[in-house]
Chains A and B, each alone.
Chain A
Amino acid sequence: MTAVAFTINGKAVSVETEPDTALLWVVREHLKLTGTKYGCGSGLCGACTVHIDGTAVRSCQTQMSSVGGKKVTTIEGLSPNSSHPLQKAWIAEQVPQCGYCQSGQIMQAAELLAKTKKPTRKQIVAHMDGNICRCGTYPRIVRAVERAAREA
């Protein structure tokens, strides 16, 4: 066990973990930020997507040994009051159904909009293709990303 110090949603934390522990479990079970979800544990579904220094990563594939000193943002830290344009668009387009994958979808989309203000449909699909939504909310995800880009 070693202490890993990093910033999460703007707050400095230090967590005792094994170096190979996945960031996902530290976020969910140690820090109790349960908005980030476990889906596959293999980087195949995107439910666990968070940002590290602004880049979307799969937290199930991110070992704690690589997190020291980094800035981690989870869905809880995307905005203080669901005011991020994507969150507003997600509500306006009534995207979530079961909702389980949506934190990951929004975090993945947030990276896109941070880098590409007005993404094309093709860019949206290419960027979001690693995130599975088993409820099939894909049409609304596309519409919500387009809306957020328009209204941001």
Chain B
Amino acid sequence: MHEDINQASVATTVSRRSFVEGAAGLIFAFTLGAVGRVPHALGAAQAARINAWVTIGTDGTVTILCPAAEMGQGVMTSLPLILAEELDADWSKVKAEFAPANPKVYGNPHEVFKGAQITAASVSVPGYFTPLRVAGAQARRVLIDSVANEWKVPASELSTDKGFVVHGKSGRRISYGDVAKFATVPAELPNISDADLKKPAQFKLIGRKDIGRIDVPSKVNGSAKYGIDVQIPDMVYASVLEAPVEGAKVEVLNMGDVAKIKGVTKVIPLPFGVAVIGESVEATRAGRNALKVKWDTTGAAAANTDSDKAKEEYARHGKDPDAKTMVEYEVGDAAQALTSAAKVLEATYWSEYCYHAQMEPMNSVAKVSEDGQSAEIWTGTQFGALAANIIAGILKTTPDKIKINQQMLGGGYGRRIWPDAAIQATILSNITKKPVKLILTREDDLAAARPRPMTHHVLKAGLDANGNLVGWYHRLVSENVDAVAAPPRFQATGGKDYIGARGLDQAFYGIRNVRAEYVRETRGMRVHAWRGIGSGYNKFAAECFVDEVANAVGKDPLALRLELTKDQPRAQAVIKAVAEMSDFKRKRPGRGMGIAFSDYHGTLSAGVAEVSVDRSTGKIKVHNYWVAVDPGLVIQPDHVHGQLESAVVYGLSAALLEELTVKGGAIQQTNFNDYLVLRMSDLPEIHTRIVATDNPPTGMGEIGVVAVAPAIANALFQLTGKRIRNLPMSPDRMKRALA
């Protein structure tokens, strides 16, 4: 399937300094907003509002900076590919490097982030698509103009062909590398309009199945560099016994035998935990394990949080008519529609706290300068600019004095938005006056988890006398993720929760009266964005409840969805595609079939699960999972399939296994023995299909997660007549449902 994978090279640890000093050839700087602003020669490249750089070396190497983090979602290939397409570059000569953390230059203009340089929410490709195309087209134009000037021919007679400028009349050709030897960047870059950009039919790189990911070769031989792999001269190691609850203080610190451990040099109690500094990883880990700490949690916000006990209160707040609510989505008058409905259905749903379980535990190397006024950080982060801001605040300096050296991320899924390891390493470097490499143990990574919140849902559906769905009500009861993870947005929206409330809307179903509201719980947990964010649990509840409606009115779940989306052709297309792929209506003995639909930040998808249950153990087996997706224009088809497979596995794991429990604010799970994630033996056959349209590209990192859990629950209902309304659908819960 990939006989002809093109292996472009990759450099992952190039600092900006070496990039600039080592560059021979042309460097273009492009201004934000795309067109025709003042270009900058290399020496003046520090000017503000530059948004993308491409360098063409005299050897023909085209170096394109990637402004987003590479965590497996493929942006290190897809973003440079977009620029290279308009540049008409020879892909085998393209190198990708991480751009520095500098949102003024490299921020994502997508409406979700409005210029912040953060890699999240599946909006890297959609956000950077147009700026990168324009940057590529401008670079191409500059090359053409330079050749026109050199050869004394009209620019209109010149074209480009895979890394060459070509003069058709004379047949002369010159490589981009050779053009770089004489080319000059004009004072004012040429204007690029829509008409100057390629039409999809002209694409030579976008949409190619045979172009592999640029980082893959380095990930089969151990050479890819992650944060945990960084070593710098004179560094010391650190392990931190993380406080079990944010805000807990050390009450009693029993050093045990720490002093006897060779290689341990310091033990430092800090507000976030107790740090052990030493000469080796093994010494600091042994030191960390030898510590006996009694924690005082009286001042901790989560001190009284207990996930089991909290459930009663969440359920009460779910039904409390006087609870303070925030409206997250509203059309028509749902209250009126429910009051006048011939029949009202009601159900409650749950989901538990979940852990990202990224395979690379949180870590960072930090080197604070002797005067404590600047720092250099090596880490894999989804939000380097946030790390620079926070660390600047800690050191009482400015963000420009904090240099973030981006590394590969050993899994992100939202966990690496918050740069806690970089912050802790910086504090330790500032205290020890040495470069510090901090690696959390898996146990500490769990103790310091930033989980998907526990959620409770109350849903009501109003049906008219003919069984038509005329009103929809969804109340989410949960901690507010924005309040923890995005405080400025939380403030700006008057206390809404963008992250937690995604998926509460019903934008694709033609229901005339909908109200989705949100009741905030304050439990002190560090709730965070988790792959698929709110859609992961909100669509679980909503898509299961759609099936409850179908069952109540005697309709087929597929037919009801097609009816509800009759004015949404793109939604219809993915639903029909997955129904056809799975042969949805065919009954399988001993198996159940369930369907679900979802959108996520503009991408549309539908999934079908085929399941069976072991009635003695309650274990659910998913045999097949079919998924169809419409992400608009497809940049890298093979990788779209890869992202779907990945997201389906992530979704299956959350649907069937994943659960954090909390007592006294402390997470009770410690490692992969008690926090179970999906392994290969539970893998179904996954069948993916792209339903491409010519809409602008939308993201692929998360959409595949969303439909998995409701499709499974809906399949279980078809099979057993029992509805599971809790995530995860663990064997215990399934057994109880069957009892």
Contacts and interface: CB of A to CB of B under 8 A. Distances in A.
Interface string B435-458: 000010111000000000000000
A74 B408 CA distance: 20
A103 B648 CA distance: 23
Contact of B281 (A25, A76, A136): A25
Interface string B255-287: 000000010000000000000000011100100
A76 to B, nearest CB: 5
A32 interface: yes
Given A42-B442, A132-B672, A135-B646, A97 B228 contact: no
Contact of B216 (A91, A135, A142): A91
Contacts of A93: 1-2
Interface in A14-63: 17-18, 21-22, 25, 28-30, 32-42, 44-45, 47
A97 B262 CA distance: 39
With a 10 A CB-CB cut-off, give which of A32, A90, A135 has the most chain B CB atoms.
A135
Interface in A79-112: 79, 82, 86-87, 90-103, 106
Interface string A104-143: 0010000000000000000001101111111111111110
A132 B5 contact: no
Contact of B680 (A38, A86, A129): A129
Given A94-B213, A98-B408, A1 B680 contact: no
Given A92-B5, A93-B2, A94-B638, A134 B411 contact: yes
B649 A100 contact: no
A47 to B, nearest CB: 6
Query: Chain B interface mostly helix, strand, loop or mixed?
Result: loop
Nearest to A90: B220
A134 B220 contact: no
Contacts of A135: 72, 411, 646, 649-650
Given A93-B2, A106-B220, A132 B280 contact: no
A131 to B, nearest CB: 8
Contacts of A98: 71-72, 358-360, 408-412
Contacts of A35: 221-223
Contact of A29 (B7, B281, B683): B281
Contacts of A72: none
B210 to A, nearest CB: 10
B414 interface: no
Given A134-B411, A138-B683, A38 B222 contact: no
B645 A91 contact: no
Nearest to A100: B410
B671 interface: yes
A149 interface: no
B471 interface: no
Contacts of B217: 82, 91
B357 A134 contact: yes
Contacts of B649: 133, 135-136, 138
Interface size class of B (residues with CB under 8 A): 35 or more
Interface size class of A (residues with CB under 8 A): 35 or more
Given A29-B231, A87-B220, A94-B216, A34 B650 contact: no
B32 to A, nearest CB: 30
A87 B680 CA distance: 20
B221 A44 contact: no
A76 B221 contact: yes
A75 interface: yes
Contacts of B671: 40-42, 44
A133 B408 CA distance: 16
With a 10 A CB-CB cut-off, give which of A97, A136, A139, A141 has the most chain B CB atoms.
A136
A92 B3 contact: yes
A29 B225 contact: no
B218 to A, nearest CB: 8
A134 B389 CA distance: 30
With a 10 A CB-CB cut-off, give which of A35, A78, A100 has the most chain B CB atoms.
A100
B646 A136 contact: yes
Nearest to B212: A94
B411 A100 contact: yes
B119 interface: no
Given A94-B5, A98-B359, A140 B645 contact: yes
Nearest to A34: B229
B678 interface: yes
14 contacts: A17-B282, A21-B282, A35-B223, A39-B360, A42-B672, A94-B638, A97-B74, A99-B224, A99-B410, A106-B220, A125-B681, A137-B642, A138-B680, A140-B642
Closest 8 CB pairs between A and B?
Answer: A35-B222, A136-B649, A97-B72, A100-B410, A99-B219, A98-B72, A96-B219, A34-B229
